Amino acid sequence: MAQREIIILPDKHLRLVSKAIDKVTPEIRKLAEDMFETMYAAPGIGLAAIQVAQPLRLITMDLAKPDENGETERKPRVFINPEILAKSEEMSVYEEGCLSIPEYYEEIERPARVRVRFTDLEGQVHEEDAEGLYATCIQHEIDHLNGARPRDRCRLYPRGKTRRAPRAYTAADAGGAGGTAAEHPGFHAEDAEDGRRARRVSRA
């Protein structure tokens, strides 16, 4: 495995629409391995191939949470040619970060649940219902495959108004709403209890 360089704005590659993968070749497996190494090192919870300058419809993700000892058993997942088949009308808001936009965090509203179809590294096709962080992360990454950046999705606030540096997650935050963000290493959260729902920050 080898780490690859994560491209950042204003790199024009981030505007490309990634191409479907016809066949899971050794090169695709190698790319996925490298993406995991790159993603874990960042650290991030998700990565699209275009973020390492490969315009292919391939996503890596790991949403594993640490156990009570703070140990995290990795749960790497690969999504090839992922598609959103259905979206809930209900929306949810996460404060998202992006590995391709350093120091950029913004509240983004997306469907709370989505049905997703994808192929795994063995060539098997799956359909799953995603909710919570999974739903947010897969939508964030599919945006990357389609050449969109997270800020394109921001509907709650005018661009630039919510830009701020994140602070580290504290124990006090964990008592807020769910504490999910605290359970992810490398995450930050702000205003975990704001009377509506947790606003969480992840980088993907």
Q: Tell me if 110 sits within 8 A of 135, measured CB to CB.
A: yes
User: 13-34: string of b/e by CB count within 10 Å (b at 16+)?
Assistant: ebebebeebeebeeebeebbbb
Q: Interface with Zn ion by CB under 5 A: which range of 68-76, 82-90, 91-99, 103-111?
A: 91-99
Residue in the shown chain whose Cβ atom is closest to Zn ion: 98
- Does the annotation mark 141 as catalytic? yes
Angle (CA) 66 67 69, round 5°: 105
Considering only residues 120 through 179, tell me which ones interact with Zn ion, judged by CB under 5 A. Answer: none
The contact pattern for Zn ion, residues 48-87, with x = CB under 5 A and - = no contact, is ----------------------------------------
Q: Interface with Zn ion by CB under 5 A: which range of 25-33, 95-103, 117-125, 156-164?
A: 95-103
Q: Does 182 bind Zn ion (CB under 5 A)?
A: no
Q: Does 98 bind Zn ion (CB under 5 A)?
A: yes
Closer of 112 and 137 to Zn ion (Cβ): 137
Q: Say how many residues make up the chain.
A: 204
Chain center to CA of 135: 9
Catalytically annotated residue among 95, 106, 141, 190: 141
Smallest separation, CB 19 to Zn ion (Å)? 19
Catalytic residues: 141
Residues that bind Zn ion (CB under 5 A): 98, 204
